[in-house]
Amino acid sequence: MGFLFIALSNAFNVYAPIVVGEGVDFLTNALKYAQGTEQSIELPNTIRWVKENLHLISDSPNATDSSFGWWVMKIALLIGALYLFFYLIKGLFLFYQRQTIIVMSRWMEYDLKNQIYSHYQNLDVSFYKINRTGDLMNRISEDVGRVRMYIGPAIMYTMNLIVLCALCIGVMFKISPILTFYTLLPMPFMMIAIFIVSRRINKRTEQVQKQQSNLSTTVQESMSGIRVLKGFGLEKHFDRFFAKQSTDYRHDQLRLVKTDSLFMPVIGLLVGLSTMLTLYIGAREVAAGNISFGVIVQFVFYVNLLTWPFASVGWVTSLVLKAEASMKRILAFLNQESEIPSGENKLTTFEKIKFDNVTFTYPETGITALRNISFEVHQGETIAFIGHTGSGKSSLMQLMLKAYTPSEGHVSINEFELNSIDTSDYRKHFRVVPQDVFLFSDTIENNIRFGKEDATREEIEKAAHIADLDNTIQSFELKYQTMLGERGINLSGGQKQRLSIARAIIGNPDVLLLDDCLSAVDTQTDERIVSALKRERGGKTNIIISHRISSIHHADRIYVLNEGRIEEVGTHEELLSKKGIYFDLNEKQRLETN
């Protein structure tokens, strides 16, 4: 439909100058007829059709008749009205042309962004460790935008150029091949000049965008890390750093402006040259009796009609090249499959998770984090893992969440191989409180509600109470409507951890994973939260990963990890009686507390 509207729009666009040319010839002949140098006056073809079919004008009166001037004026007004009518129709089809092609490109952009975003959600954790966040965002914004510019404006202007040139040059060549040749002579040079200027503009534009990205990154990091920046007294240092980047940005922007300023003068010069050739060669052809004066006017219109399509060749070529490069970058991610298998089986209830002789090596680094790990966690149990930094605690959690697959051994859920379970369905049964807390720039209430979209106010307040956060929230002026800064910057470390716990437990998940998430709270608060969780989550499974014994001493079973292996297993009392690694940890932490 878009291509059809392009053809119809250009058909009226090309025909409108013919009406003007005929009008100029008619007025010239009318003047000669009135002066007696012409024996008769011929109506333009368009006006003749109007006379024969619509009967809006009468036959030509005698030149001496007093109504002759009004008759000529009436035809001139009719020619002007027809010209306006043709341009209105052309504008209507131009509107539909953009409503089909440009709107279609926007819908394709919408679909492509959703497809990429959905694909991002299905890729595994290792993908995000390899690729930078800025690059991921660029592909879903800048790259998709460049592809849209191809499937919208680039295709539209290309088709417009083809159709307009075919119609316009065809009409021009039919009227006067010689005048057509000289009129179009500067056009190839204009295309080459504009292509060169466009390439320079694109190069300068990319440099400006890159520098603008650097500026934005500096500001974002400065604002996010403002506490660190002020804590080190580096305000002036960052002022100088930002000023240097601003200077570079200004320099690049000015270079772009200078290059951009060449664009219109180049077009103006070559269009003017084409117009001059049209007038000069056209005058010679008129003198030779080969064409009429109206043809020159008609050709001047055609020069202006062809200017932008020819001028857009360089710009469109640039759009195509950019879109090609961007689509390759997009497809590089879309063709990348998750390394985590997702089966067809659905998980209705959680009964047991089992690790059988599991060994895990990180694919990005080659570091072996777990060696020959075997254990079981049953429904309703509270299981804990403890060990020094680097002992493999968090790696264990990643395998439980199906963020990675074991290098050796098997992980099963309810006697099913974990890889045979649908990944998305499996994770719905889990809630995790990570060590590195992430909060959204929203209200406290909405951050807690993230764990359960349809949560009531009572459920939100109960979750906050279990996480020992309710008193803190009540101390804020806006209470649950308090807006959090980026990543919860206006909360302390302990407050952020407790808010993250409230967010996880509000959905009452089958399995709650706490990954060393109480490291920033004091021992008394730690014990209150752990006791509340044990009391409120009866019959549900809790898995606690910690380096602090006060967080796990109540667990039904404690696994002590050391260098990726399970060294000790038992209850708190059983492990203390063994006087091994756990006993040493307990003694050190007891002395630190005292």
Distance CA 150, CA 105 (A): 9
SS3 381: coil
State the pLDDT at residue 517. 73
Distance CA 24, CA 377 (A): 94
Q: How far is CA 226 from CA 33, 185, 231, 520, 575, in A?
A: 86, 62, 8, 20, 44
Q: Is the model's pTM score more than 0.75?
A: no
Closest listed residue to residue 279, CA positions, set 301, 298, 296: 296
Domain regions of the chain by residue span: 1-172+311-339, 341-429+556-594
Strands 511-515, 408-413: pairing kind:
unpaired
State the pLDDT at residue 53. 67
Closest listed residue to residue 407, CA positions, set 363, 341, 365: 363
Contact, 567 vs 561, CB < 8 A?
yes
State the pLDDT at residue 55. 66
CA quadruple 317, 320, 323, 325: dihedral positive or negative? negative
Across the chain, which has 594 residues, the per-10-residue mean pLDDT values are 90 85 81 73 73 66 69 83 88 90 91 88 74 74 86 88 87 87 82 77 75 73 74 80 86 82 76 84 85 84 80 76 81 79 77 88 82 88 85 84 84 83 81 81 84 83 84 84 75 81 84 78 74 78 84 86 88 87 83 66
State the pLDDT at residue 60. 64
* Count helices and strands in the chain by DSSP H and E runs: 22, 10
State the pLDDT at residue 532. 80
Distance CA 376, CA 394 (A): 17
CATH 3.20.20.70 describes domain 341-429+556-594: no
H-run or E-run covering 559: strand 557-562
State the pLDDT at residue 519. 67
State the pLDDT at residue 110. 92
* DSSP code for 140: I
